[in-house]
Amino acid sequence: MTEVQAPAALDAVAALAELAPVGADPVRGGWSRHLLDDADRDMRAWFVRTAESLGLSVETDANANQWATWAPEGAAGRAIATGSHLDSVPGGGPLDGPLGVVSALAAVSRLMAEGHVPSRPIRVANFAEEEGARFGVPCLGSQLLAGELDTDRVRRLTDVAGTTYAEAMTAAGHDPQAIGRDEDRLSDLALYVELHVEQGRQLEPLGAPVGLATSILAHGRWRLTVAGRGDHAGATELDSRHDPMLVAAAVVQAARARALEASPETRSRATVGKMRIVPGGSNAIASEVALWLDARAEHDPDVRALVEAVLADAREAATAEGCTVEVAEESFSTRVGFDVPLTDRMAAALEPGFGEVPRIPTGAGHDAGILSAHLPAAMLFVRNPDGVSHSPHEGASDEDIRAGVDALTAVLRDLTGP
């Protein structure tokens, strides 16, 4: 008699340790893994290797998202999807993204090891360019899959080196003409559950290792290009300068001031975290400054109002300094309320192991938010004791990481039960 031996279950903590050298950023600290760069290629290779070692079949879709499928005999109908992303912000933390992918593979391997026979296929996703760090548009892979983006515009997006998305895709062996809404793949999914490290500090005071998501703030990104007149820092009189840095400084201040001015229930927040100064010499007045405004609030009109207020301040500052401002909207993501029946079902599945799991909102964007407009989607958060994220200091304890895998395993077991 031959017995099919399930491979040993994947340990999420060990898997994350294996990924730690990939894309470690010696300049910024933390990790920099951006769409189709060397680090992303190594992360993707790890995904294929690990998923295949567990006996999953791996494919890459037209939008550069990776999918690892477990569909043993008896699994039928639309798939249960889970996963997250393996890319990062510049100099980001170890968990934003990878925790969800690693935990998904670990949970599937646990179900295999315990002899669970899923009633439906389970697909583990690695969504491409969730952070939008290379081409400026967050959740690029899931938005393309869902048909949310103008594909001509996407093909023309450029990175800092001037490489277009189309060129980057071609160089990595993908066909940039094939991107866009993937009806077959989308309609094959019954639902999507994403596990993610908590961003913000809500679970720690509640003493809870895991939480369920309720909603995502509406959010977007705007690029402001301020043009002035480049000149000599020593030889140019103060009254004859057109210095775009002054305008940029006013925008940074306005982002905070206008967000504070909005009523608290709008949960408004605005940030300038990225700036490009041309030419960038310490003894030169800049000729141009590009800066990126990230604005978020509870509802879409709150974000629109916040951005309009900041832009009005930017234009006023530009006029005063004899500069010009051009504004481009790089992305906008509408407010998300996660699927309540699915979240309730997850809460019930978690009850035996975790008791009543807290439900918390988040200010961070996720592929689950994009997909929620197309299929039932929900999220599980793993406690982050300091709440820090998009920083090398992001973290979760090994114990909580393993608790997250326990939770996701319980959820997948329930969703694919008899």
Does residue 365 touch ligand GLV according to CB under 6 A? Answer: yes
Distance CA 288, CA 307 (A): 21
List the one residue from 190, 218, 259, 364 that touches ligand GLV (CB under 6 A): 364
In angstroms, give the least distance from the CB of 33 to Mn ion: 12
Distance CA 124, CA 12 (A): 14
Q: Under rule CB under 5 A, which residues in 39-68 are in contact with Mn ion? A: none
List the one residue from 37, 87, 96, 406 that touches Mn ion (CB under 5 A): 96
Element (H, E) at 274: strand 269-278
Report which of 297, 367, 296 is spatially closest to residue 338, judged by C-alpha positions: 367
Identify whether the C-beta of residue 45 lies closer than 8 Å to the C-beta of residue 328: no
In angstroms, give the least distance from the CB of 224 to ligand GLV: 18
Distance CA 330, CA 140 (A): 12
Identify whether the C-beta of residue 342 lies closer than 8 Å to the C-beta of residue 376: yes
Q: Under rule CB under 6 A, which residues in 85-124 are in contact with ligand GLV? A: none
Q: Which residues are annotated as a binding site?
A: 85, 96, 131, 196, 221, 283, 296, 390
Report which of 40, 75, 76 is spatially closest to residue 60, judged by C-alpha positions: 40
List the one residue from 93, 97, 136, 141 that touches Mn ion (CB under 5 A): 97
Question: Which does residue 228 touch among ligand GLV, Mn ion, none (CB within 5 to 8 A, set by kind)?
Answer: none
Q: Which residues are annotated as a binding site for Zn(2+)?
A: 85, 96, 131, 196, 390
Does residue 131 touch ligand GLV according to CB under 6 A? Answer: yes
Question: Which does residue 369 touch among Mn ion, ligand GLV, none (CB within 5 to 8 A, set by kind)?
Answer: none
Q: Which residues are annotated as a binding site for allantoate?
A: 221, 283, 296
Distance CA 380, CA 212 (A): 5
**Of 97-105, 145-153, 376-384, 394-402, which part binds Mn ion (CB under 5 A)?**
97-105
Element (H, E) at 405: helix 398-415
Residue 160 CB-half CA count within 13 A: 12
Residue 243: alpha-carbon gap to chain centroid: 35
Contact map string, positions 355 to 374, toward Mn ion, x by CB under 5 A: ----------x---------
Q: What sections of 180-243 are H helices per DSSP? A: 183-187, 203-206
In angstroms, give the least distance from the CB of 233 to ligand GLV: 35
Q: What does the binding site for ligand GLV look like in residue numbers (CB under 6 A)? A: 131, 138, 364-365
Q: What does the binding site for Mn ion look like in residue numbers (CB under 5 A)? A: 96-97, 365
